[in-house]
Structure 1
């Protein structure tokens, strides 16, 4: 794509109009793109060879990268003799030997199975920390983004929604999209009518500060966001939940259900609510429980444009 406004800088260097080969960016893709007829060592050193790097320097860099990635014993093997995780490390090694200013990794783990993704994810994070090279990591997996990123940029339909630290994204999402995307299970996003002192959800009024309600600019319906862990079991007043599924995790449990008091046919289309309860004796399926909300843990969004109001 052409740059139609602004500039792109890497460090203090303007690369806006530089050809790709001169930008000093090394890329790692979902597709490993290894040459099948070359050994691991030759694959890793190929870009250096094309750049006319002296052979001794080339071998030195390949050996250093192989040691860093645990690939020393595989240097003389062909890609077909390697596992998926090992091939991915070779692709990373090929980028590392270039000693670039920036790494660009485009979904590098998407071809790996779930277990290998977790282990490789931690390896990449540790590697980036050791190398100290700025890394732009593209992923659709919010868990990868949250666990690996120092700063996370959330995009929707090509538009930047929010850039922040993982914890700030989780605690202070800028809009409904970010709120629903970041976190697993996702934040509960519930529409309710504006009423005196809060937002009416079923027979319960979610307390909302007057200043926040004033920011709603006359909207009569707002979206309240509540993280699953922000609920607590209550003996008295609270949000009523008809429990449909209980997932026991040992020290705590997830309750899945719908707003209490709905008819069976209404429950089929009703929004599912998720609550994380810290108890070893959770409610059972079919029970109706009351949930209170921890103070200060309610997020409020405009129903019209999805923007955060509090």
Structure 2
């Protein structure tokens, strides 16, 4: 498993377009991190930099304390699942899952005839020292007289180190070999059992459903037994029903394996249902990092509030008066603000200033009990559209120029123009600065 640190990561392409700005994140062992945001927000670019498929323009990436910036993708011990299944059509499920393992080589210690470790000169260390000497000799040519002596001393010290390394012969000799067939069999069969593919190992991709093909792609990652799983919108090609099924399978897979996982999606439902923590991104910047519950309850700004949640949060422009009421911009809405929210707004000097009130559709009620309990924050509205979804109904209406949705219990009596009284639970509301768009009332 792995612990990752991304410090001030930036990505600037050759055409001077910057895709990622000052990305800072610590990912802990066994976490399931989801990068979520609209298209073009930099989430896939960040994932590709972690994988080594994109160069990091500036900043540092560490995995278990080791700097990864210049490490080749094949040496990072990460496996990646893409949006495309990328299965070989002429190979069986078994061969598709085993293909990467058959190509990979692993280091094995070389032993002598008595079974003892063979030691050799550490050529890599000598190469490092020689490169340092080469750079110092370049510096020597343009150095001042005062600097030359110091540089010559450094060169002499490195040459002495090379002699000592050559004499020591303390580097264990290794050779690179392919995985044994027994180990490949074990890993493929284990992955197939986890993913429910045991009965399909002899089939080719054309004989599989979309969900089964995606499981094969996941299996290819599992057999690698990598430190980190990277998933770039792996469910985008599946229909809605299969996406729900595969979401639950990936959640169970992570619970069983405990591998540190970074998952990219534009679908906030996937983020909410799968993540240990969510990283919300927009225009290359991190907007907020937190657990799904925390981000849902405490959005940092207007973008996060509107992006996370289905239907999205309602936004109503208006002011909060000194006597504790929210009045909409057009004056048609007059709702009592709870004292704790009022005190925060008052302490931050937002009274009588134009703000944006945010409230989620599920925090607006049409039942008599809540209307009575929340009498001071209830409102008569005219129905614009009513969408029956079976267990609930989405009631669309307007407050001035602002469109609002209430998610109420299922009802079939609502028509265009129907009058309805609704209660707003403003203990769950959020207040946003109209200019900075930051949440004033976030904890």
Q: TM-score, normalised by structure 1?
A: 0.89
Question: Relative to 1, partners in 2 of residues 1:122 and 1:54: Cα closer, same or farther, differing over 3 Å?
Answer: same
1:89 aligned to which of 207, 215, 226:
215
Deviations 1:215-254 (A, max 9, x none): 2568831111001111133365523321122234555432
SS in 2 for 1:8: strand
Decide whether the 8 Å contact of 2:210 with 2:238 is kept in 1: yes
2:237 matches 1:104: no
SS in 2 for 1:7: strand
Tell me the distance in 2 between the aligned counterparts of 1:176 and 1:99. Answer: 40
Tell me the distance in 1 between the aligned counterparts of 2:387 and 2:221. Answer: 43
For residue 304 of structure 1, what is the aligned residue in structure 2? 435
Tell me the distance in 2 between the aligned counterparts of 1:2 and 1:242. Answer: 55
Tell me the distance in 2 between the aligned counterparts of 1:216 and 1:16. Answer: 46
Question: Relative to 1, partners in 2 of residues 1:108 and 1:216: Cα closer, same or farther, differing over 3 Å?
Answer: farther
2:288 aligned to which of 162, 166, 175:
162
The higher-RCO structure (CA 8 Å, 6+ apart) is: 2
2:200 matches 1:200: no
Decide whether the 8 Å contact of 2:319 with 2:327 is kept in 1: yes
Tell me the distance in 2 between the aligned counterparts of 1:78 and 1:232. Answer: 53
2:278 matches 1:152: yes
Gaps of 5+ in 1: 263-269
Deviations 1:33-82 (A, max 9, x none): 11122221111111111112111111111111111111112212222222
When the two chains are superposed, the root-mean-square deviation of aligned CA atoms in Å is 2.2
Tell me the distance in 1 between the aligned counterparts of 2:349 and 2:303. Answer: 18
Question: Relative to 1, partners in 2 of residues 1:304 and 1:54: Cα closer, same or farther, differing over 3 Å?
Answer: same
For residue 265 of structure 1, what is the aligned residue in structure 2? none
Aligned residues: 301
Gaps of 5+ in 2: 1-53, 105-177
Question: Relative to 1, partners in 2 of residues 1:252 and 1:42: Cα closer, same or farther, differing over 3 Å?
Answer: closer
Tell me by how many angstroms 1:301 deviates: 0.6
Higher mean C-alpha deviation, range 300-309 or range 80-89: 80-89
Tell me the distance in 1 between the aligned counterparts of 2:206 and 2:409. Answer: 48
Higher mean C-alpha deviation, range 180-189 or range 46-55: 46-55
1:242 aligned to which of 382, 393, 406:
382
Tell me the distance in 2 between the aligned counterparts of 1:183 and 1:129. Answer: 25
SS in 1 for 2:383: strand
Q: Which structure has greater helix proportion?
A: 2
For residue 266 of structure 1, what is the aligned residue in structure 2? none
SS in 2 for 1:168: helix
Question: Relative to 1, partners in 2 of residues 1:80 and 1:219: Cα closer, same or farther, differing over 3 Å?
Answer: farther
Higher mean C-alpha deviation, range 73-82 or range 162-171: 73-82
Tell me by how many angstroms 1:194 deviates: 4.3
Deviations 1:129-162 (A, max 9, x none): 1111111110011001101111111101111111
Decide whether the 8 Å contact of 1:38 with 1:78 is kept in 2: yes
Q: Superposed, which structure 2 residues align to 1:1-310 within 5 Å? A: 1-51=54-104, 52-196=178-322, 197-201=324-328, 202-206=331-335, 207=337, 208-215=341-348, 220-233=353-366, 234=371, 237=376, 238-249=378-389, 252-259=392-399, 270-278=401-409, 283-310=414-441
SS in 2 for 1:192: strand
Decide whether the 8 Å contact of 1:216 with 1:309 is kept in 2: no
